[in-house]
Structure 1
């Protein structure tokens, strides 16, 4: 995963991206959340691979491995 997800302050304002390309992990997650399948994404973005998408999911899962989430006061 560390080879596929990169963070470079000169690319996409330092957001985690796929292989240094201008595809932030955030976008990949949004595409999946909107209902796109991995196959849909691969068709629309031919320079991405199945491994890239799975790495984005794994990266997000690791970020969510927190001990506790607290609600902020409104």
Structure 2
């Protein structure tokens, strides 16, 4: 049996006026770099989802895949945040 959450589609999008043009998860303000930062801080997927019910497991899987294929860009975004 599938629920709305398990059926939810996920994708990464960038919009100039949203989060400074950073890649975000589908129509949210959750940036891929922010999710990666939480993961690097040791948060599990379950913990992230617990605190952000607007995200789905599919969203996180897409974020991790996006990071894997755009690692340099995401690492640069994380570094830029540290430099602020």
Q: Distance in 2 between matches of 1:4 and 1:22?
A: 13
Question: What root-mean-square deviation, in Å, do the aligned CA atoms of Structure 1 and Structure 2 show?
Answer: 1.4
State the TM-score, normalizing by the size of structure 2. Answer: 0.70
State the TM-score, normalizing by the size of structure 1. Answer: 0.79
More helix by share: 2
Q: What count of residue pairs does the alignment treat as equivalent?
A: 63
Gaps of 5+ in 2: 1-9, 73-84
Gaps of 5+ in 1: 66-74
Q: Which runs of 4+ in 1 moved over 2 A?
A: none
* Larger RCO of the pair (alpha carbons < 8 Å, separation 6+): 2
State the structure with more CA Rg. Answer: 1
